[in-house]
């Protein structure tokens, strides 16, 4: 990606493929290397309506909704505080051979980081905060906030979330960080000359403290469309108990976590019915959430590259980017780091799944330990 020479909105001009549903691929937990739109992330919307609910059933929307919402596994502890042996534990342990714990491999990570500048990127939901029933209540703990604040003192740190940038800032509340909302489609970064030559998508603004910042919004032209879709979805889902529609500025999230599973097909149908009129929008699945977003060649991986460039850290041999996340959309960032052999992805998961990450952490509490360890290491290596 050449950010310097091409700063126009990276909108794909090709229509999304409509003849063949790729929903079957959805059960793959990560996207294999491929074109900018990886099949695992794109869910093609069939445009032909064959009858009420037939669309969402025939093209496996429901299967996709179920498979992308695995329940959190409860960790059982034995009398000696050891993890009780069960099939799930055995499976998790053997998975960890491929994706070792970033805590247990901390020495290996820091050995590689010696003499390098670490840049830290993190997802929010499920990474810094627990996944909760009400997405408005996904608060991080004070201890986590303190750990993030400390780590940002020593390393450039950015949060890249699917939420709107304002929302994620509201949750985190730390001015020391950089924030990218809407899966990286709304980035607030430091003012630099090199990225300010795209007056439509990249412009100067001020943050909440009045400090000059650069805003980069590669999907700016989609704002009115997204807003319209948000209002339509609020209207069409208002009769479904537990459904919640969230406007994340450049994407709309339809949460079905609190919807009775018997009504998931109704949620899917509402989204399908609206989406069929917007060929320039696409659907992705998150944890008990359907997300509608622009068909543009932009993702969290590109947001990482963009932020590194904004920070003057791109193409530097002495920079080690680390990305911590739990989502399917974080795989794009893991892939960028893995393929460029530039840094590490750390997947937060309590269940085995294929990933482009190199290491793993079980849950947000382990993420906090990892952040604390980074700070201790940095402090001791500065002595
Ligand atoms: Mg997440």
Listed in sequence order, the residues at least 6 apart from 158 whose beta carbon sits closer than 8 Å to its beta carbon are: 119, 120, 121, 122, 177, 178, 179, 180, 307
Distance 123 CA to ligand 1 centre (A): 6
Q: By mean pLDDT, which of 129-133, 162-166, 188-192, 250-254 is the weakest?
A: 188-192
Torsion angle, alpha carbons of 260, 266, 268, 270, to 10: -130
pLDDT for the residue 284:
87
pLDDT tens readout for residues 200-215: 678 788 887 788 888 8
Q: Stretch 76-86: mean pLDDT, rounded?
A: 53
What was the pLDDT predicted at 208?
A: 79
The one catalytic residue among 123, 326, 327, 330: 123
Burial readout 86-118 (b: 16 or more C-beta within 10 A, e: otherwise): eebeeebeebeeebeebbebbeebbeebeeeeb
- 14 in catalytic set: no
Q: How far is the CA of 269 from the centre of ligand 1 (A)?
A: 25
Q: What is the pLDDT of residue 369?
A: 98
Taking the centre of ligand 1 as the mean of its atom positions, its distance from the CA of residue 264, in whole angstroms, is 21
**What pLDDT digit, counting tens, does each position of 231-242 carry?**
999 999 999 999
Number of helical (H) and strand (E) elements in the chain, helices listed first: 11, 13
Q: How far apart are CA 31 and CA 322, in angstroms?
A: 19
Least confident of 18-22, 99-103, 348-352: 18-22
For residue 62, pLDDT over 70 is answered with yes
pLDDT at 47: 40
Task: Tell me the CA–centroid distance for residue 194 and ligand 1, in Å.
Answer: 30
Please tell me the distance between residue 50's alpha carbon and the centre of ligand 1 in angstroms: 35
pTM for the whole structure: 0.78
Residue 99 has pLDDT above 80, yes or no: yes
Confidence at 59, pLDDT banded by 50, 70, 90: low
What pLDDT shows up at residue 86?
84
Instruction: Classify 67 in phi/psi space as left (phi over 0), alpha (psi -120 to 50) or beta.
Output: alpha
C-alpha span between 230 and 176 (Å, rounded): 31
- 100-111 pLDDT tens trace: 999 999 999 999
Q: Are 319 and 199 contacting, i.e. CB atoms less than 8 angstroms apart?
A: no
Give the SS3 label for residue 332. Answer: helix
């Amino acid at each position: 990606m050449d950010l310097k020479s091409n700063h126009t909105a990276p909108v794909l001009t090709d229509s999304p493929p409509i003849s063949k549903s790729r929903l079957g691929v959805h059960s793959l937990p990560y996207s294999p290397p491929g074109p900018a739109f990886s099949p695992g992330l794109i869910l093609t919307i069939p445009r032909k309506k064959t009858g009420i609910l037939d669309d969402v059933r025939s093209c496996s929307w429901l299967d996709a909704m179920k498979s992308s919402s695995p329940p959190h596994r409860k960790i059982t502890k034995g009398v000696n505080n050891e993890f009780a042996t069960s099939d799930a534990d055995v499976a998790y342990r053997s998975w960890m051979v491929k994706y070792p714990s970033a805590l247990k491999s901390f020495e290996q990570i820091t050995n590689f980081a010696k003499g390098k500048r670490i840049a830290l990127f993190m997802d929010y939901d499920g990474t810094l905060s627990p996944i909760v029933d009400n997405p408005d209540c996904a608060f991080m703990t004070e201890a986590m906030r303190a750990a993030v604040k400390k780590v940002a003192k020593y390393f450039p740190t950015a949060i890249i979330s699917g939420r709107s940038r304002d929302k994620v800032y509201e949750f985190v509340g730390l001015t020391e960080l950089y924030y990218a909302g809407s899966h990286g489609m709304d980035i607030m970064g430091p003012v630099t000359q090199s990225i300010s030559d795209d007056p439509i998508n990249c412009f100067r603004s001020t943050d909440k403290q009045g400090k000059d910042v650069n805003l980069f919004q590669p999907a700016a032209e989609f704002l009115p469309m997204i807003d319209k879709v948000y209002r339509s979805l609020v209207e069409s889902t208002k009769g479904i108990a537990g459904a919640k529609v969230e406007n994340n500025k450049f994407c709309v999230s339809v949460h079905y976590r609190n919807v009775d599973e018997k009504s998931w097909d109704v949620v899917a149908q509402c989204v399908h019915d609206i989406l069929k009129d917007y060929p320039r929008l696409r659907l992705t699945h998150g944890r008990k959430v359907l997300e509608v977003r622009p068909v543009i060649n932009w993702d969290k991986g590109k947001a990482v590259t963009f932020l590194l460039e904004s920070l003057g850290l791109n193409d530097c041999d002495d920079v080690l980017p680390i990305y911590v996340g739990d989502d399917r959309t974080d795989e794009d960032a893991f892939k960028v780091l893995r393929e460029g052999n530039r840094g590490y992805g750390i997947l937060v998961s309590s269940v085995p799944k294929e990933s482009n990450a190199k290491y793993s952490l079980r849950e947000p509490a382990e993420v906090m330990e990892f952040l604390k360890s980074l700070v201790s290491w940095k402090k001791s290596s500065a002595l």
